[in-house]
Amino acid sequence: MSLLALTISVTPTAFASEASNPTQSSKTKTEETKFSLQFPLVTDQYRVSAEFSEKIDPETKAITVHNGIDYAAPKGTSIVAANDGIVIVASSLKGFGQTIVIKHNSELTTLYGHINPGTFLVKVGDTVKKGQKIAEVGSSEAAENQLHFTVFKQDEAINPNLYIKQSSK
C-alpha cells in the first residue's frame, strides 16, 4: 500500500491547470509536468544525504525502501513548490515530521518532509505556483537539517530523479 493511501483521505478533483484549460488532455498535462518539475530548494548549499533506494537491514534481512531523496541543507533554506498544484496535506506525518503534500494533477503528487516547525507558508486547500516558497528546511523527525522530497505517480513513490534535475552547484 502506498504512503498516500495510508495518510491522505482527501483528494481534490479540480486542479488549477485543469480549471484553466479543461480541454487539455490528462496525458499532455502529465507529460508537461514530468519535464518541468523544479528543484525544491533555493540554494546551492545542499548535498544529497540519502538517495531513493531499497536497503536490506543487516540484522533482520528485511527490505526497506527510502521512497525519496534527502537533501541536507542549512536550517531555514527556502523550500519551493516543484510545480503548480493544490496543497492536500500541511501537518505532521509520522516519519516525516512537519510535511507538505502538493497534488499537481491527476497523476503526480510531491511530498516535502522534515520542514522546520512554524515555517509553513501554505495550508490545506491553497493553490500554489511552481517556484513559490512553501516552507523552510528543518530537522523535524530527522537527525540533521534536510528536506525529504518524494514524487508520487498515481500514489506510488517513484524516483524523483526521473522527474527533476538536480540544481547545478
90/104 Cα distance (integer angstroms): 15
Q: Please state, for a pLDDT cut of 90, what percent of the chain lies above it.
A: 61
Model confidence at 153: pLDDT above 80? yes
Residues forming beta bridges with residue 150, ordered by sequence position:
111
In the chain the domains, ranked by start, together with CATH numbers, are 3-162 (2.70.70.10)
SS3 123: coil
Q: In which residue are the cell numbers 518539475 written?
A: 37
pLDDT-derived band at 1 (thresholds 50, 70, 90) equals very low
pLDDT tens digits along 26-71: 444 444 444 579 999 999 999 999 999 987 777 888 888 889 999 9
Cell of 11: 483528494
* Pairwise pLDDT comparison (126 vs 142), residue with the higher score: 126
Say how many Å lie between the first and final Cα of the chain, rounded: 36
